[in-house]
Homo-oligomer: A and B are copies of this chain.
């Protein structure tokens, strides 16, 4: 048994890895770095050569438009692979900021190249997970483009919930959001004021409840209905990956 990294652990949830593969992945996490809440990890438009594995805490990626408004693109959880854009662009298309105190493990993109060369199976797996991210992105597109404010909030909460559950088995029906209502709004294309209205409404209707930053989903079925949510994590099927 080799010491498994945070990233390898995430990947083995999908498909078994050989020890050699695990060791290689662990190398990516040799340089953990502590990050304070609110600190910027990467600034949009600046040259980049690093990627990251998020080991602890939460990180968000976002862009700021010329009029000053912000679109949050994604919230990352421990085990996530961050900054894959730097594999293709020499300048960062998006900014990265820690939403909570966090630990990230930066590594050079050439280290990733070597990994892909030496472990084609890992390359294939990363390709697949990149496709999965693309699909979850399309779900959000549909949410922003075609659903009401209430539906977006519902879908957002469900997405957080199910993603957290992938790595944390003891989450039953509640979780720490760790995002302000303004940040929620910036994720789903609403103002903080309207996010607040929707959340209160959903609380009054008995869909959710809150106590100091913790959200409890009281009626997941109805939330899924309101948010037009489909849980993609269920029917993933990576069987066809090259055998190890």
Residues of A within 8 A of B (CB): 61, 63, 65-66, 69-71, 73-74, 84-85, 87-91, 93-94, 109-110, 113, 116-117, 120, 123-124, 126-135, 137-142, 144-147, 186, 188-189, 228, 230, 232, 235-238, 240-242
Contact = CB atoms under 8 A, between A and B. Distances in A.
Nearest to A234: B89
Given A117-B120, A127-B127, A240-B109, A135 B85 contact: yes
Given A127-B116, A141-B137, A141-B141, A146 B71 contact: yes
B242 A113 contact: yes
Contact of A63 (B65, B85, B138, B242): B138
19 contacts: A63-B142, A65-B146, A65-B228, A69-B146, A71-B142, A71-B146, A85-B131, A90-B237, A93-B138, A109-B240, A110-B240, A116-B120, A116-B124, A116-B127, A116-B242, A117-B242, A130-B130, A141-B141, A141-B144
Contacts of A141: 71, 73, 137, 140-141, 144
Number of copies: 2
Contacts of A134: 84-85, 130, 133-134, 137
By secondary structure, the A interface counts as helix
Contacts of A74: 138
Nearest to A85: B135
Contacts of A116: 120, 123-124, 127, 242
A134 B86 CA distance: 12
A240 to B, nearest CB: 5
A107 to B, nearest CB: 13
Nearest to A148: B67
A65 B147 contact: yes
Given A131-B130, A134-B130, A235-B90, A73 B240 contact: no
Residue from A126, A142, A236 whose CB has the most chain B CB atoms within 10 Å: A142
Nearest to A120: B120
B240 A135 contact: no
A173 B159 CA distance: 41
A87 B120 contact: no
